[in-house]
Amino acid sequence: MESLDIQLEPLRAVLFQIGAFLPRLLIAVVVVAAGWLLAKIARVAVTKALRAINFNVLTERSGLDGFLRQGGMAGDTTTLFGMLLYWLVILTALLVAFNGLGLTYITDLLSRVVWFVPNVFVALLVLAFGSYFARFVGNSVVSSVKLADARLLGKLAQYAIMAFVVMIALDQVKVGGDIIRESFLVILAGVVFALALAFGLGGKDWAAERIEHWWPREKKNKDEI
Region of poorest pLDDT, from 62-76, 103-117, 166-180: 166-180
When pLDDT is averaged across residues 192-197 and rounded to a whole number, the result is: 58
For the packed helices 150-172 and 104-144, what is the interaxial angle rounded to 10 degrees?
Answer: 170
Helices of type H across the chain: 2-52, 55-62, 64-70, 77-100, 104-144, 150-172, 178-197, 204-214, 217-224
Q: What is the pLDDT of residue 225?
A: 46
Backbone CA torsion sign across 90, 92, 94, 96: negative
Would you state the pLDDT for residue 39?
A: 92
pLDDT at res. 40: 92
- Single out the residue of 63, 66, 43, 47 nearest to residue 55, CA to CA: 47
User: What contacts 218, CB < 8 A, 6 or more positions away?
Assistant: none
Bigger pLDDT: 96 or 208?
96
Least Cα distance to 27 among 88, 93, 90, 107 occurs for 93
Residue 104 is predicted with a pLDDT of 78
Indicate whether 142 pLDDT > 70: yes
* Span 41-71, pLDDT tens digits: 999 999 999 899 988 888 888 888 887 788 7
What is the distance between the alpha carbons of residues 138 and 134, in angstroms, rounded to a whole number? 6
- Which comes out higher in pLDDT, residue 91 or 210? 91
Show me where the domains of the chain are located.
Answer: 12-175, 189-225
Confidence tier at 148 by pLDDT (50, 70, 90): low
pLDDT reported for residue 220: 46
How confident is the model over 5-22, as a mean pLDDT? 61
Please tell me the predicted confidence (pLDDT) of residue 224. Answer: 47
Confidence (pLDDT) at 23: 77
Mean pLDDT of 3-13: 58
Query: Does residue 203 register a pLDDT over 60?
Result: no
For the ranges 92-106, 123-137, 139-153, which has the lowest average pLDDT? 139-153
